[in-house]
Structure 1
């Protein structure tokens, strides 16, 4: 990797999550030099989930400034940004937000989805995901156009607002964030005819480039706000799930990264475009000629925060581990239904078995998340995606060692935990390509392994029937397609 591993060059990754903005500085050998974060707040009201775009920039700038406070400016070689997938807003020609940010799980655009899929269906089928979901960016754009009056607006993805501020001008978006707005990843263009039929004005959408492209440099104003040296290359980023995949080093065909945060996101690598007739799995473009299939669930660690707000999760984990309970809960994180491993906007939580007290109920949520995760991989295998390669765990949930071991036991496969398991690290790796390295070279030099977890065969055997009961209950409720359930049962019996 040109000059990075053997020098003290520093690469900066910026991550906009649901609850915080984070900045990390990582050197060419993968050492975390510094990190800082700032909280983000949102507004939820039924299907509505908004954040203030002004807060995104102030939080990112403050976190970056703190992280870089003790680092010599000449060491900083690049910066890249990731953000939540499908989060959008309208801005004016100067990059000022005209609307709140409609977050990744905002569900107000449900009424627009049928029209989006009618007009763009041929393109969506060509791209493999078949149909857009209500929380995707293009239905939200139509909702914004119908519910605002800004004739000269620009659509920005969440990360686009940050790169605009960094460069001091609008720069190209990336294919990863543009996917859910309808960008044609195979032909690498906006589908102009379909968008015109939907009433999307010409000039509303940003230019788009592949992740890793240098789109600009840090301007003087941004340098003052962030501590990034003026002139630092700004590298086109990816969505948070793909960023975590890079940070985990999951870049070879068959490799997968499972990100457990508020929700569960799985991202893998395939040599071919994976098409899903059910419209649940979708592919990003990967480095070289690869594709990055995956999906974002509505289930995850957010179910713990929803059920046990303010609780001591370490203490609950210890108590849960001592129960030996096999009750399993369907762990929906919020009110938006399910998106992966099946599409069910009206799905609601449920419990299989008896959970007596907080510890057993907490364990049921941990076990339910592991069951959802196994079903995600079974669905991917059913679609023909290669799933047998290395598996890594990242996200906040990966810091809970008991939960990670439980997940490995339910999956029945060895799992690797990277030393720095976060999306911001992936963006630091991507930012390192500004120095001339390929993404694979940068990841090889910068991704470090913290621990490897091996499943307990006896525990896997005991938990597999629990997983199959979970699959049966989802099928009985009409949530899971019988063909996917049958495939999951067949795999478990082999």
Structure 2
């Protein structure tokens, strides 16, 4: 039995999975935060309270796990003391207050390193003697073990960790006034790092002595849960926004900083990017809609005469960087149904542009394409996206990040020789969608219209637009 815990934005999820991927127990507990303009914080102790509740639910009617791993949101950080106790709020991955620090650090504002610098400025501890940087997962692991543990290189990536050298960039940190003692030790995901202690066992219901395995960020966890772990495979996670992550044998170099690469437990690379388009645009446009009913009405309006770029909020990060970008509609929908299908289609067109951008960077795309995330609940939308992309799509039966962490726990215990072996045994396929070539051809014109408009607005670089156009001409 293997356990995975997923620290999300709105809830904590815990699952216990058997060696063949059967879900034997699951639990969840809500999380709340403080949002005020660009500010987004959560109370670290709330994470622990939610973990305790979710774990007890998951273990209520199933055997105890042999090992567990934890994933969390990428870029969420706090400062803690040397005993692993929180000293500051948890500054969330989309908190936007560290703009000045991001410019100094020369990193995207979405990265954790600028937030670390901001926390030091706001809360003190710049000498590094009394505080340490902690990621969201680190706090929970410290409580589980009863002592601080090493962080994993996946969560450390956006804090500035150099994955190729397997070390913190100490000279660079020194120039930024960040001392060595501020940052935790780092291990590769899948490494055994400790055991659940007696105090935590009483609170969570997880037996004392259960192995703790270093985890990964939630996006990487979702990829493991998708089973897309061979070179050239990609997983598209569509929920409120869209995330694409794949597998390569070497890092994908992107001087524009749109695509970045995590390091997989087996030494391969997991490049990807996060777009601002997604299902959140549907919620904004139709807050009280019944998605199943709207899907049924939308079929009669394909392809929509209106072309949409459905950004959830201001700013885009993938397949181009444009902080000023906003969502738009080209044309006026004749009905709510046409508006709905235009938004669904717009996400699929943006997804296609993301894949074209990855092709421009030289990333291999020949492997399986998997769909996961909340959007797969809509069979209509999944089929529409497959037709727009012109690719067969694989949809797992159960693909939550918590399952990905259960798979990683099985790999790290160790119970298998490779992560791919663990995933092939534990990830179950629900079905495969095959694209309709005739329908795929109908979406070439809307796709080119969108590419032209994004370039005209100055958001999409000319070489990227040209490559996207060339890709439509390939057989």
TM bin, normalised by shorter chain, reads over 0.9
Higher mean C-alpha deviation, range 249-258 or range 152-161: 152-161
Aligned to 2:363, the other structure's residue is in SS state coil
Deviation at 1:251, TM superposition (A): 1.0
Partner of 2:414: 435
8 Å Cα contact 2:313/2:326 also seen in 1: no
Call closer, same or farther: CA 1:210–1:28 in 2, change over 3 Å.
Answer: same
CA displacement 1:361-415 (0-9 Å, x = unmatched)? 2222211111111111111110001012100011111221111111111100000
Deviation at 1:99, TM superposition (A): 2.1
Higher mean C-alpha deviation, range 417-426 or range 141-150: 141-150
Partner of 2:112: 137
Partner of 1:330: 309
**RMSD of aligned Cα (Å):** 1.5
Matches within 5 A, 1:345-494: 345-433=323-411, 434-437=413-416, 438-494=418-474
Task: Work out whether 1:111 is the aligned partner of 2:100.
Answer: yes
Deviation at 1:492, TM superposition (A): 0.8
Partner of 1:82: 71
8 Å Cα contact 1:179/1:185 also seen in 2: yes
Task: Work out whether 1:212 is the aligned partner of 2:186.
Answer: no
8 Å Cα contact 1:274/1:383 also seen in 2: yes
Task: Work out whether 1:65 is the aligned partner of 2:45.
Answer: no
Partner of 1:196: 174
Call closer, same or farther: CA 1:365–1:141 in 2, change over 3 Å.
Answer: same
Deviation at 1:325, TM superposition (A): 4.7
Partner of 1:51: 42
CA displacement 1:231-264 (0-9 Å, x = unmatched)? 1011111111111111111111100011112221
Higher mean C-alpha deviation, range 413-422 or range 354-363: 354-363
CA displacement 1:290-312 (0-9 Å, x = unmatched)? 21111111222222233333433
In structure 1, the gaps of 5 or more residues are 1-9, 118-131
8 Å Cα contact 2:303/2:442 also seen in 1: no
8 Å Cα contact 1:174/1:237 also seen in 2: yes
CA displacement 1:199-226 (0-9 Å, x = unmatched)? 1132111111000001111111221222
TM-score, length-normalised on structure 1?
Answer: 0.92
The runs of at least 4 consecutive aligned structure 1 residues that moved more than 3 Å come to none
8 Å Cα contact 2:266/2:419 also seen in 1: no
Call closer, same or farther: CA 1:419–1:114 in 2, change over 3 Å.
Answer: same
Aligned to 2:4, the other structure's residue is in SS state strand
Task: Work out whether 1:91 is the aligned partner of 2:80.
Answer: yes
Deviation at 1:318, TM superposition (A): 2.5
Partner of 1:169: 147
CA–CA distance in structure 2, aligned partners of residues 102 and 163 of structure 1: 18
CA displacement 1:326-374 (0-9 Å, x = unmatched)? 2232222234x11111111111111123223333222222111111111
Call closer, same or farther: CA 1:328–1:98 in 2, change over 3 Å.
Answer: farther
8 Å Cα contact 2:303/2:443 also seen in 1: no
CA–CA distance in structure 1, aligned partners of residues 287 and 154 of structure 2: 33
Call closer, same or farther: CA 1:322–1:43 in 2, change over 3 Å.
Answer: farther
CA–CA distance in structure 2, aligned partners of residues 310 and 157 of structure 1: 36
CA–CA distance in structure 2, aligned partners of residues 178 and 62 of structure 1: 27
8 Å Cα contact 1:393/1:421 also seen in 2: no
Deviation at 1:319, TM superposition (A): 2.6
CA displacement 1:398-453 (0-9 Å, x = unmatched)? 22111111111110000000110211111110011213312122111111100100
CA displacement 1:106-159 (0-9 Å, x = unmatched)? 221122222212xxxxxxxxxxxxxx2111001111111112224522211111
8 Å Cα contact 1:77/1:435 also seen in 2: no
8 Å Cα contact 1:270/1:385 also seen in 2: yes
Aligned residues: 468
2:163 equivalent among 185, 206, 222: 185
Aligned to 2:194, the other structure's residue is in SS state strand
CA–CA distance in structure 1, aligned partners of residues 313 and 198 of structure 2: 41
TM-score, length-normalised on structure 2?
Answer: 0.95
CA displacement 1:3-48 (0-9 Å, x = unmatched)? xxxxxxx111111122221111110011111222222222322222
8 Å Cα contact 1:86/1:136 also seen in 2: yes
CA–CA distance in structure 2, aligned partners of residues 34 and 356 of structure 1: 47
Deviation at 1:94, TM superposition (A): 3.0
Higher mean C-alpha deviation, range 472-481 or range 295-304: 295-304
Partner of 1:29: 20
Partner of 1:16: 7
8 Å Cα contact 2:307/2:449 also seen in 1: no
8 Å Cα contact 1:263/1:298 also seen in 2: yes
Deviation at 1:286, TM superposition (A): 1.9
8 Å Cα contact 1:110/1:135 also seen in 2: no
Aligned to 1:108, the other structure's residue is in SS state coil
Aligned to 1:203, the other structure's residue is in SS state helix
8 Å Cα contact 1:331/1:365 also seen in 2: yes
Call closer, same or farther: CA 1:359–1:12 in 2, change over 3 Å.
Answer: same
